[in-house]
Chains A and B, each alone.
Chain A
Amino acid sequence: MKSFHYLFWAYTLIWIVLAGYLLSLSLRLKAISSQLRRLKSRLPPDGEP
């Protein structure tokens, strides 16, 4: 059991890395979706000059 803290830190690190990546992915998706919405609302409809 003396090596238990290595096990603890390994799994903690894995979850920090995965949670960090998921957070960054969701923030990037949210940011790009809102940029797309803003840009689409500024453009004239298809076919208009």
Chain B
Amino acid sequence: MERALRFADTVLFPLVTVLMVASLYFVFRVAPNEVTMGAVQRIFYFHVPSAWVAFLAFFLVFLASVLHLATRRMIWDTLAHAAAELGVLFCGIVLMTGPIWARPAWGTWWTWEARLTTTLVLELVFVAYLLLRSQAESPAQGARLAAVVGIAGFLDVPLIYFSVKIWRGHHPIVFKTGGGEGLEPVMLQAFALCMVTFTLFFILLLALRFRLGLLQEDLAELREAARSGRTT
């Protein structure tokens, strides 16, 4: 475990820094303007990867919560808590950058369209998840209740993904230039680079946040030992 966390420090941090600079270069210097939306479409090079890592984070919450309920091991709860915090962070970025794009494109900051609404619900569920933990009477109780909310909350993710098809929403397919469908090769490269960068950035942040969780557990154990007058 310690080796994996050290790997995040020594390898991932410089790698993510280089990839982030490269991503910005590709987004602003290499990728062309989208034909109908113009410059503002470039928001989506960070908006979509943020959504992807938010979903990845909430999937990890789901997985770790199931494992916590099955085994009662606190390490799974620590992982779920770390992933939930990051999920809220990246989902927050999605909810902030989406309206900034929507204002010039749709003429409004927000519309109660299916994908937007279900994404907002997802964010609120996981904000509640974090608040619930802080209000619990004991860490074990907090972990158990949070696991249930984490599993139930994740069910919103497939709903978000399929919402455009189910309710015929008008959330756009944003990557299109010229008359053809889909991504231009250069835009695809920039998009793929951003996806890789954000995924590695997420892993780096998760490793750091997970380490914080482990240290908090150590601290709680030491405090308990200090109270009972002996080390564990």
Query: Bound state CA distance, A10 and B92, in angstroms?
Result: 12
Are A32 and B212 within 8 A (Cβ)?
yes
Q: B183 near A: Cβ within 8 Å?
A: no
Assuming the contacts A17-B93, A25-B208, asked whether A36 and B222 have C-beta atoms less than 8 A apart, the reply is yes
Q: Whole-angstrom distance from the CB of B171 to the nearest CB of chain A?
A: 17
B53 → chain A closest CB, angstroms: 12
B136 to chain A, nearest CB (A): 19
> How near does chain A come to B44, taking the closest CB pair, in angstroms?
10
B219 with A10: CB separation less than 8 A: no
A49 to B223, CA, bound (A): 16
Interface size range of chain B in the complex: 20 to 34
Complex formed: what's the CA distance from A5 to B103 in Å? 11
Q: Tell me how many residue pairs across A and B have CB atoms closer than 8 Å.
A: 82
Contacts of B43 in A (CB 8 A): 6-7, 10-11
* Docked-complex contact B219 and A7, CB < 8 angstroms: no
Interface size of A in residues (CB-CB distance below 8 Å): 30
User: Given A6-B101, A9-B100, A33 and B92 touching (CB < 8 A)?
Assistant: no
- The complex places the Cα of A1 from the Cα of B230 at a distance, in Å, of 67
B-chain residues with CB within 8 Å of residue A29 when the two chains form the complex:
208, 211-212, 215
Closest A-chain residue to B96, C-beta based?
A: A13
Would A17 and B92 count as touching, CB distance under 8 A?
Answer: yes
Residues of A2-19 at the interface with B, using a CB-CB cut-off of 8 Å, are 2-4, 6-7, 9-11, 13-14, 17-18
- B interface majority secondary structure: helix
Interface residues of A: mostly helix, strand, loop or mixed?
A: helix
Kindly state whether residue B216 has any CB partner on chain A within 8 Å: yes
Contact between B231 and A46, CB atoms less than 8 A apart? yes
B40 in contact with A43 (CB, 8 Å): no
Q: Which B residues from 11 to 62 make CB contacts under 8 A with A?
A: 37-40, 42-43, 46-47, 50
Rounded to whole angstroms, the CA-CA distance of A39 and B225 in the bound complex is 10
- Name the distance in Å between A6's Cβ and chain B's nearest Cβ: 5
Instruction: Report yes or no: A14 in contact with B219, Cβ–Cβ below 8 A.
Output: no
Are the CB atoms of B46 and A14 closer together than 8 Å? yes
Q: Known contacts being A36-B215, A43-B225, A49-B230, is A6 close to B209, with CB within 8 Å?
A: no
Chain B interface (Cβ < 8 Å from any Cβ of A): 37-40, 42-43, 46-47, 50, 89, 92-93, 96-97, 100-101, 103-104, 205, 208-209, 211-212, 215-216, 218-219, 222-223, 225-226, 229-231
User: A-side interface residues toward B, CB under 8 Å?
Assistant: 1-4, 6-7, 9-11, 13-14, 17-18, 21-22, 25, 28-29, 32-33, 35-36, 39-40, 42-46, 49
